[in-house]
Amino acid sequence: MSRKLALAEGEAVRTACARGLLRTGLDEASGDVVSRAVLAERVGWCADLVAGMVGALLGAHCNAADVDVLASGVDAGGRRLPSNAWMALRRLGWTAAPPSGVRVNDRIVRMVQEQAGRVLRSVKWRADLTAGILSTWPVDPRKRTGVEWEQLRAAIPGGQGLASSVIKGRTRQVAAFLHAHGRLPVDVFELEGVPRVARMLLLAACDRQQATIERSDTDPGRVLLRLQLPTRADPRSYRDWTWVACPISLPPTVPAGAVLHLPTLRVTGGTVRADVAYTHPVPKAKHAGHEVALGVDWGLNTLLTAGTLRLETDGRITALGAGGQFRAAGVLAKQHRLRRQGERLHAKADHYQRLIDGRPDEHLRAKHAVLRDEIQHVSARRTNLNDALAWSAARWTVDQAIAAAATVIYLEDLRSMEAKGMGRTMNTRLSQQVRGKIADRIRHLAAEQGIAVVTVPARNTSKHCPQCLSPLQHRKAPDQPTTPGWKWAVCPHPPCGWQGDRDHGAWRRIAARGLTHQNKTITDKTSGAMVIRSVVDTLEAAAVVTPTTSKTSRTDRSKTGPTARKPPRPAPRRRRAPSPTRPHRRAGKRPEGHAPTDRRLPRAAHRHQNVTTTSTPTTGHQPHGAALGAGFHLHAHATPPKWETIPETYSDTGSLS
C-alpha cells in the first residue's frame, strides 16, 4: 500500500487514530487458529522483551548530557540527526541488546530504540523547565513576586507563553523534594528518576520484515495485520518466531481512501488493543479571514455555552441567534461521587497497608488485594465517564459551528486558571473538570471540516459588557436585582442597558475578541494549536457586539378604552380531531382534550429542563419522576443544532427518581 497522499489545492493532511481489537489470529507456520487469550499471551511476551530492553537503554542514557546531545539535533560529526527516533539513536551509537540467550531480530531493536528515543526527547522540555525553576528559586515558593516571575519566565525557553499553573505544579514538586531531603535537587533526573516504560509495541518503527497491514478489497472496514510473534517467553532462535495474521475491524469514522499505517499494540485486561494511525486529506483551516465565528465559554454546571457572531463588511459585529448551552451537572455530580468513593477506598487501602507493614497477615493481604481491584474499577469508570463527556461536548460544539456555517471556533484559554479561594468542595470540582480533553477532541473533530480552533485570552470576558465593554454588575437572578450573585449580568451604562446570563455575555466577548484579533493568530510550536497570545487595546475597543433588534418601547401603555374582542385561540394539536359521538347511555367515551393516563412520561430531550429529579412521595399521587435524558447520558442536556428537530417520543426507562 502506498503511503503517499495526493493533495488538492486548499487541502491539508490530517493524521488520526482509530482503535481496534485483535480478537483472533492465524499462525501461518502451523495453520492453527490463535485464540484471544493465546494471542494476548504472545503479544505480551514480545512487549515484555521490548519493555526490558527499553528500560536498560533509558537507564544508560537518561542523563543531562545525553538528553542535550539528542535534543541538539546534530551528531558528533555535525550532521543533522534524522527525525525518526530509532535512526537518531543509531546515528549516536546508542544500541540495545536482548537478555542473554534470547534471540530477537533487528526490527525488535528498532522498536526499542524508537520508544526510548521518544521518551528521551520528551524529557528535554521537563529538564529545561526544572532547570529554570531551580536557577531562580524564590524566597517564598508559595508566592512569587512580580520580579521573580519575570526572571523565571526569562530562564525557561518559551516561558512567556507557558501557563503559570504548569510552573506552580513543578514548583510544588521541587518543594516536596526540598522538604524530604533538606536540599534542592540537582536536575529533573534526580527529581523524577528514570521514566517508567510502557508495555507496548511500536510497529511504526518496523518494515515489512516484521509487520504488514493491508486493507480488504471487498470491505474497506476490515484490514489484515501480519506480524512476527514469539512462541515462547524467551525465544532461543529465529524458529521461535512465527507469522500471525490478525484481522481488524475499523470503525466507520475511518475514510475508505485513508492511508493506513502500522499500529501500536497494547495488552489490556487480557485483550490486545491496536491503535491504527491513518492519514487522509481535509480542508485546510486558515488563521485569518473569518466572517462567522463560534465563541465557546466554559462553565461549572453549564459546561459549555456557545453562540455565533458575524463580522460585517463595515466592521460591525452582530450576533446570530441567542446561543445554546451544554449542561452536564448530573454527569459531573456522578463523577464527583466516584471521586469521593475512590478517595475512601484509597484511605482504607492505605490503612490496611500500614497494618500489613506492622504485622504481616494473609487475611489482611486478601482484603487489601480486593480493595486494590475495586480502586482500579472505580478509576476505570471515572475514565470512561470523562471520555464520554468529552466526546459528547466536543461533538455538540462542532455541530453548532457546522450549523451556523462558522469557519472558526474561539475557545477561552483557561490553562492558567487555578481552583482556589472558593471553598474546598468548589475548588475540587473546578480542578476535576475535563476541559483539556474537550478542547483536544474539539480540534480533532473540527479538523475534519476544515474549521480552525483558536484559543483566546480569558481576561475580562465575563466582567465587561459585550455591547459597550463597561464593567457589569452581577446579580443572582433577573427577578432578584438586589441579591448579590454571579449568574445574571446587568450593564449599568444607561445608553446600553444590556442584561443576560453571564455565560451568554462571555461567549459574545470571546467570539468578538477572536474576530478582531484574528490577524494575531499564531501556531504554537510545542502543541501545534492555533492561539492568540495577548490582547491589543486598540483592537479590543472594536470588539463590541452591535444590537440587531430594537429595544423594548418604554412608552405609556395604560388602558384608554375597552379591550377589543379577539377570536378564540385555535384548539391544541391534540384536539383538532372531531370528538367521538357521545352515546346516549350514561357511561361513554371521554371527549378529547385530556392526556391519556396509560402513557409514560415523555423523554425531556429539550433545553428547558433541570438536572435534578423529583422525589417519589409515599402517599397520594406517585409520579414517575423527572423524565430526564438526551444524548449519551440521562443527565447531559444540550441545545440541539439548528437542523435538528426533537421528536415526540416517550421514554420507557421507568422511574428515574
Which pLDDT score, from 0 to 100, does residue 238 have?
Answer: 92
Q: Report the length, in residues, of the chain.
A: 657
Query: Measured in whole angstroms, how far is the alpha carbon of residue 204 from the centre of its chain?
Result: 25
- Which residue from 555, 25, 7 is spatially nearest to 281, judged by alpha carbons? 7
Q: What nine digits make up the cell of 145?
A: 513576586
**Could you give the maximum distance between any two Cα atoms of the chain, in Å?**
108
Q: Of 526, 477, 452, 554, nearest to 166 (Cα)?
A: 526
Q: What is the H or E stretch that residue 292 is in?
A: strand 292-298
pLDDT band at 416 (very low <50, low <70, confident <90, very high): low
Quick check: 461 and 508 in contact, CB under 8 A? no
User: Which of 14, 2, 131 has its CA nearest to residue 68?
Assistant: 131
> Which pLDDT value is given to residue 426?
47
Helix/strand/coil for 515 = helix
**Which of the residue ranges 182-191, 365-374, 380-389, 485-494 would you say has the lowest mean pLDDT?**
485-494
How confident is the model over 348-373, as a mean pLDDT?
A: 88
Average pLDDT of span 488-503: 87
Given a cut of 60, whether residue 98 has pLDDT beyond it is: yes
Instruction: Indicate the average pLDDT of the chain.
Output: 83
Q: Are strands 292-298 and 408-413 parallel, antiparallel or unpaired?
A: parallel
> Which residue, among 468, 344, 335, 331, has the nearest Cα to 393 in the 3D structure?
331
Worst-scoring range by mean pLDDT, 300-309, 379-388, 566-575?
566-575
What mean pLDDT is predicted for residues 123-141? 92
Tell me 590's DSSP state. Answer: P
Where along the chain do the CATH 3.30.420 domains lie?
292-330+389-540
Phi, psi (degrees; rounded to nearest 5) at 328? -140, 40
Q: How much is the pLDDT for 634?
A: 54
pLDDT band for position 483 (cuts 50, 70, 90): confident
Q: Does domain 292-330+389-540 match CATH 3.30.310?
A: no
pLDDT band at 114 (very low <50, low <70, confident <90, very high): very high
Residue appearing with cell numbers 421514554: 651
Higher pLDDT, 528 or 513: 513
Mean pLDDT of 568-594: 55
Give the residue-averaged pLDDT of 183-206.
Answer: 92
Supply the DSSP symbol for 204: G
CA 375 to chain centre: 23
Q: Which pLDDT does position 654 carry in this prediction?
A: 38
Is residue 408 over pLDDT 90? yes
The listed range with the strongest mean pLDDT (238-242, 252-256, 494-498) is 238-242
- How far apart are alpha carbons 516 and 167 in whole angstroms? 30
Q: Burial level of 236, CB count in 10 A (0-12/13-18/19+)?
A: exposed
Per the model's pLDDT, the better-predicted residue between 572 and 282 turns out to be 282
Q: Is the pLDDT of residue 271 over 60?
A: yes
pLDDT value at residue 473: 87
With a cut of 90, say whether residue 106 has pLDDT above it.
yes
Pairing of strands 25-27, 241-249: antiparallel
How does residue 437 score in pLDDT terms, banded at 50, 70 and 90?
confident
pLDDT at 105: 93
330 pLDDT band, cuts 50/70/90, is confident
| CB distance 115 to 198 below 8 Å | yes
Q: Of 370, 368, 343, 342, which is closest to residue 357 (Cα–Cα)?
A: 368
Q: Is the pLDDT of residue 175 over 90?
A: yes
Give me the percent of the chain exceeding a pLDDT of 70.
Answer: 81
Which pLDDT score, from 0 to 100, does residue 534 have? 87
Q: Three cell numbers at 317?
A: 459585529
143-154 residue pLDDT tens: 889 899 999 999
Average pLDDT over residues 186-211: 92
pLDDT digits (tens, 9 = 90+) for 40-67: 999 999 999 999 999 999 999 999 999 9
Check pLDDT > 60 for residue 349: yes
What type of residue is 305?
A: T
> Per residue in 47-77, is it b (16+ CB within 10 Å) or e — as a string?
bebbbbbbbbbbeebbebeebebbeeeebee
Check whether 490 has a pLDDT greater than 60.
Answer: yes
Structure confidence at residue 293 (pLDDT): 95
How much is the pLDDT for 331? 85
Confidence of residue 239 (pLDDT cuts 50, 70, 90): very high
What's the predicted TM-score (pTM) here?
0.76
Count of helix runs (H) and strand runs (E) in the chain: 13, 22
Q: Region 567-585: what's the mean pLDDT?
A: 58
Q: Among the listed ranges 185-199, 538-552, 600-614, which one has the minimum average pLDDT value?
A: 600-614
Residue 412 contacts residue 506 (beta carbons within 8 Å): yes
Could you give the CA distance from residue 596 to residue 641 in angstroms, rounded to a whole number? 31
pLDDT at 468 over 70: yes
Is the torsion defined by CA of 157, 158, 159, 163 positive or negative? negative
Least confident of 145-159, 259-273, 333-347, 607-621: 607-621
> Please, is 156 exposed, middle or buried when counting C-beta atoms within 10 Å of its C-beta (0-12, 13-18, 19+)?
buried
As a whole number of Å, the CA-based R_g of the chain is 31
pLDDT at 602 over 80: no
Q: Give the model's pLDDT for residue 173.
A: 93
Instruction: Tell whether the model's pLDDT for residue 311 goes beyond 60.
Output: yes
